[in-house]
Amino acid sequence: MASVRKVVTRSPHRRVGLIACSWFQSTPIEYESLLERDFVRLALLDPEVTSIVHQPFFIDLGALGRYVPDFMLTGPEQRLVVEVKPEEHSVSVRNKPRLQRASEMLREKGFDFMLATEKWIKADGRHERAAILLRHARSHLAPELTTRVLALAARSPDGIALGTLASTAGVPASAVLHLLGRRFLRTNAALSFSDSQRVYPFGRQS
């Protein structure tokens, strides 16, 4: 495996850009399609992920050519390499054997491998809720309000309704969404955030 020099280029056939999230990591995260962007938004809300790198390296697949994975996600207990691709493209005559061989080689080197298609990324519309949470994450919340909300949440290790938490703390619901977006709190796997949805202290499984 070798490193890849990352260059964001623009094309009329795809959407490229950067996601800046200084509360998560100092370097922006590149994406080269809207599907990749949606995947990154989900990864930013995963409590097991501490670092996201776009196109981290390339692998020589021999006769199958060179393979560059889309992302590598790292955390205390994982090194996950991710390919983001529409399902119909992932099973094409060209891509299917390449992804299979890349998966085998990566696992031999101690990496986990994941193929993230639109069906996984957009399940139940959670990619849209992730976008909303991250928009709130970019807002500002006074430190004393953060402390107050988190202290109240900590008293309910089995979860507390989002609306109840906000009203008890005397803050708008948007303050709780901010803390969900920054991973001080967490919700369910679907990233639901209605007033009745239970939210949990960070690290607590829903």
190-205: pLDDT as tens digits: 999 999 999 999 864 4
* Nearby residues of 153 by Cβ (< 8 Å), 6 or more positions away: 160, 165, 185, 199, 200, 201
29 Cα distance to chain centroid: 11
- Taken in order 152, 155, 159, 161, the sign of the CA dihedral is negative
pTM for the model: 0.89
Helical ranges in the chain per DSSP H = 34-44, 87-90, 95-108, 118-121, 126-137, 143-154, 162-169, 173-181
What was the pLDDT predicted at 15? 81
Instruction: With cut-offs at 50, 70 and 90, classify the pLDDT of residue 2.
Output: low
Torsion-angle region of 179 (φ positive above 0: left; ψ -120 to 50: alpha; else: beta): alpha
The pLDDT tens digits of the residues spanning 33-88 come to 999 999 999 999 998 999 999 999 999 999 999 999 999 999 998 899 999 999 99
Is residue 153 within 8 Å of residue 199, measured between CB atoms?
A: yes
Residue-averaged pLDDT of the chain: 92
User: Quick one: how many helices (H) and strands (E) in the chain?
Assistant: 8, 11
The one-character DSSP state at 60 is E
pLDDT at 14 over 90: no
The pLDDT tens digits of the residues spanning 153-197 come to 999 989 999 999 999 999 999 999 999 999 999 999 999 999 999
The pLDDT tens digits of the residues spanning 90-144 come to 999 999 999 999 999 999 999 999 999 999 999 999 999 999 999 999 999 999 9
pLDDT at 9 over 50: no
